Amino acid sequence: MLFLQISLLAVLLAAGDNEDATASQEEISFKMIQSSSFYNRSWVKIQNSAWLDDLQTHGWDTNSGRIIFLRPWSKGNLSKKEIKDLEEFFHGFCILMPQVTHRHASQWKFKYPFEVQVTLGCELDPGGAIVGFHRLAYQGSDILHFQNNSWLPTAKGGTRAQDVSRVFNQYHASKETVQILLTDTCPRFLLSILHAGKADLQRQVKPEAWLSTGPNPGPDRQMLVCHVSGFHPKPIWVKWMRGEQVQQGTQQSGILPNADGTWYLQVFLDVEATETSGLYCRVRHSSLGGQDILLYLEHHQGSVGLIILAVMVPLVLLTALAFWLRKRCPAYFSLF
Ligand SMILES: *[C@@H]1O[C@H](CO)[C@@H](O)[C@H](O)[C@H]1NC(C)=O
Ligand SMILES: *[C@@H]1O[C@H](CO)[C@@H](O)[C@H](O)[C@H]1NC(C)=O
Ligand SMILES: *[C@@H]1O[C@H](CO)[C@@H](O)[C@H](O)[C@H]1NC(C)=O
């Protein structure tokens, strides 16, 4: 059985080297995604959403055809008229796209049920350039992309992609609107939401970390799990270590969203049950200002003493302080 006694003392050490966790010189994109599930010849379900990287910023009310703004800054600096025009365009697209697809499904060898995903957006690179993109995928694989005012088939889309592009390229008015969205509206909007949402997007929230064990991976082996939760922004560095050595077997889950917009992740290490001594989980994140979190696996009884000490000392001090304050300002404490 496992003798993990997790030290409450998330010992804080000054980090020697400041690695990539703080660097955020990466591209950032804004994209709208329309997912259409075609069940049969007469039935399609459409969902629209918009995302700033991994963060959902907009939803869509299918009944009213209105955009749902999910963050206080999701409107950027779009005017009421621009929002209305966009809603009309997307509403039109939500009618046109399924009609065209149903009509040509057998010609294109689209077999019911199937999924079509249309993505439209733009990406800001660290140099400041913004490039628009627009793609169409069938069953999760891209078959068309939009370039220079027209739809082009992807190589892996084969002859089907060529047939689909030929049809979509006939809708000239729609292509012109798309070209404006890609080269003008999206870049302006991306800059404006990055500006409006700056405080929220760049907020620094410290992670909490704790240890547990997973199901035993085999006889005489243990699965150690380091949980890290509640941090923002997303880039983070978490490893199982011994001394200065990163343990090679460290495995990481995906970084998953918490409901409050912060992030969560698990980092695993599969080890011999007899080889756990000196192992610790190290967490490096921009919010920690260089003070990495170190969580040690403790086996020896000494750690219990330390935990008790760590809890008791502040408790005693707090109690003493409370008594002192009560004497000094009784009015304040009469509330209790
Ligand atoms: C199409 O699918 C929907 C939802 O599954 C179903 O209610 C409807 O009867 C189907 N229509 C046809 C013509 O199969
Ligand atoms: C896009 O079109 C313009 C003229 O219409 C042409 O000069 C340019 O080479 C094209 N670019 C690509 C990538 O096809
Ligand atoms: C909105 O913000 C973008 C990017 O900062 C800017 O280029 C544009 O002129 C602004 N539009 C209005 C109407 O203020």
Token output for 150: 């027209």
Name the residue with the closest Cα to ligand 2, atom 12: 148
The ligand with the least distance to the CA atom of 194 is: 3
Which tens digit of pLDDT belongs to each residue from 308-317? 445 455 565 6
55 in ligand 3 pocket by Cβ < 6 Å?
no
Name the residue with the closest Cα to ligand 2, atom 5: 148
Residue 245's CB is within 10 A of a number of other CB atoms, namely 10
The mean pLDDT of 193-220, rounded to a whole number, is 93
Angle (nearest 5°) at CA 39 between 36 and 41 = 105
CA of 131 to the centre of ligand 3 (A): 17
- pLDDT(120) > 60: yes
Span(s) in the chain for CATH 2.60.40.10: 208-315
Which tens digit of pLDDT belongs to each residue from 259-306? 888 999 999 999 999 999 999 999 999 999 999 999 998 754 344 434
CA of 161 to the centre of ligand 3 (A): 37
CA of 197 to the centre of ligand 3 (A): 14
Give the per-residue SS3 of 132-190. EEEEEEECCEEEEEEECCEEEECHHHHHHHHHHHHHHCCCHHHHHHHHHHHHHHHHHHH
Pairing of strands 55-61, 66-69: antiparallel
- pLDDT(13) > 70: no
CATH of segment(s) 208-315: 2.60.40.10
Name the residue with the closest Cα to ligand 1, atom 14: 40
Token output for 66: 């209105």
Q: What pLDDT is attached to residue 317?
A: 62
CATH of segment(s) 2-201: 3.30.500.10
Q: Which of 36, 38, 39 to mutate to test the pocket of ligand 1 (most atoms within 8 A of CB)?
A: 39
Q: Is this model's pTM higher than 0.95 or not?
A: no
Pairing of strands 279-284, 291-298: antiparallel
194 in ligand 3 pocket by Cβ < 6 Å?
no
- pLDDT(12) > 50: no
The mean pLDDT of 219-237, rounded to a whole number, is 95
Q: Which residues contact 180 (CB under 8 A, 6 or more apart)?
A: none
CA of 148 to the centre of ligand 2 (A): 6
How far apart are alpha carbons 94 and 99 in whole angstroms?
A: 9
Closest of 323, 311, 216 to residue 271, by C-alpha: 216
191 in ligand 3 pocket by Cβ < 6 Å?
yes
Q: Tell me which DSSP letter residue 21 carries.
A: G
How far apart are alpha carbons 286 and 66 in whole angstroms?
A: 37
How far apart are alpha carbons 90 and 241 in whole angstroms?
A: 51
112 in ligand 1 pocket by Cβ < 6 Å?
no
Q: Which of 40, 41, 44 to mutate to test the pocket of ligand 1 (most atoms within 8 A of CB)?
A: 40
How far apart are alpha carbons 262 and 19 in whole angstroms?
A: 21
Residue 296's CB is within 10 A of a number of other CB atoms, namely 17
Span(s) in the chain for CATH 3.30.500.10: 2-201
